[in-house]
């Protein structure tokens, strides 16, 4: 359920874009009427209307996530706040300038911020974020925690590059598909691979 909750803004972004892309005249009229005051020139064309509507939805959905957590007294993770700031700034630029480029950079910047936080914490603060998050549930040797930490750093770095490659090499609808299915699929594959790696060392720990 947490994974679904985390990906909910992306799912809503995907659904909004697909529907608006299939009804471009309607999307352009709605975007012009509702977002005209937010865009340069006040008129939204059919070519960018789907992305602009999807961008508004993902901004609102991310803000709603935080509002839901705060209302229930739950902790809002730092990266969710970072995601809201990025999607608001880059999404706002996408809306104002009628340009898809800004929102397409958002996943890459977020991946790199997460990777940088893991690297900075390990390198300069001598603190392993994964161990801090999971150490109470899993007992592992120090070298395993270090390998896992750098594996996540490499994963985030590569995902950021892959997002930009897809964004600049393929049509927007392909990028939207990748943003949901590619991002989620690769994350699941990476987590399964991590689980298999962990299982070996968990058995070693239990045997000792």
Q: Are residues 83 and 152 in the same domain?
A: no
* Number of domains within the chain: 2
Domain that holds residue 11: 1-99
Last residue of a domain, one of 99, 119, 145: 99
* 127 confidence band (pLDDT: 50, 70, 90): confident
List pLDDT tens digits, range 107-119.
999 999 999 999 9
Last residue of a domain, one of 82, 99, 116: 99
List pLDDT tens digits, range 141-182.
778 888 888 999 999 999 999 999 999 999 999 999 999 899
Q: Are residues 95 and 120 in the same domain?
A: no
> For residue 53, which of 68, 67, 33 has the smallest C-alpha distance?
33
Last residue of a domain, one of 65, 99, 133: 99
pTM for the whole thing? Answer: 0.86
Q: What whole-number distance in Å separates Cα of residue 131 and Cα of residue 134?
A: 5
> For residue 107, which of 92, 123, 91 has the smallest C-alpha distance?
91
First to last CA, the chain: 34
Q: Are residues 113 and 164 in the same domain?
A: yes
Q: Are residues 92 and 152 in the same domain?
A: no
Burial class (CB within 10 angstroms; exposed 0-12, middle 13-18, buried 19+) of 16: buried
**Residue 42 has what pLDDT?**
84
Q: Are residues 208 and 110 in the same domain?
A: yes
Cβ neighbours of 199 (radius 10 Å): 10
């Amino acid at each position: 359920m947490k994974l679904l909750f985390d990906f909910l803004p992306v799912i809503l972004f995907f659904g909004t874009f697909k529907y608006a892309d299939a009804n471009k005249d309607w999307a352009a009229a709605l975007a012009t009427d509702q977002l005209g005051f937010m865009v340069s020139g006040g008129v939204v064309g059919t070519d960018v209307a789907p992305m602009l509507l999807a961008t508004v939805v993902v901004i609102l959905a991310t803000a709603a996530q935080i509002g839901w957590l705060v209302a229930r007294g739950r902790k809002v993770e730092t990266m969710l706040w970072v995601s809201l700031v990025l999607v608001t700034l880059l999404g706002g630029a996408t809306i104002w300038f009628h340009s898809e480029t800004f929102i397409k950079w958002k996943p890459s910047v977020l991946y790199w911020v997460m990777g940088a936080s893991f690297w900075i914490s390990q390198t300069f603060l001598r603190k392993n974020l994964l161990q801090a998050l999971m150490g109470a549930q899993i007992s592992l040797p120090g070298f395993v925690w270090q390998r896992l930490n750098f594996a996540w750093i490499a994963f985030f770095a590569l995902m950021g590059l892959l997002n930009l490659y897809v964004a600049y090499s393929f049509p927007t609808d392909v990028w939207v598909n990748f943003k949901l299915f590619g991002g989620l699929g690769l994350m699941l594959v990476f987590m399964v691979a991590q689980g298999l790696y962990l299982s070996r060392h968990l058995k070693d720990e239990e045997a000792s």
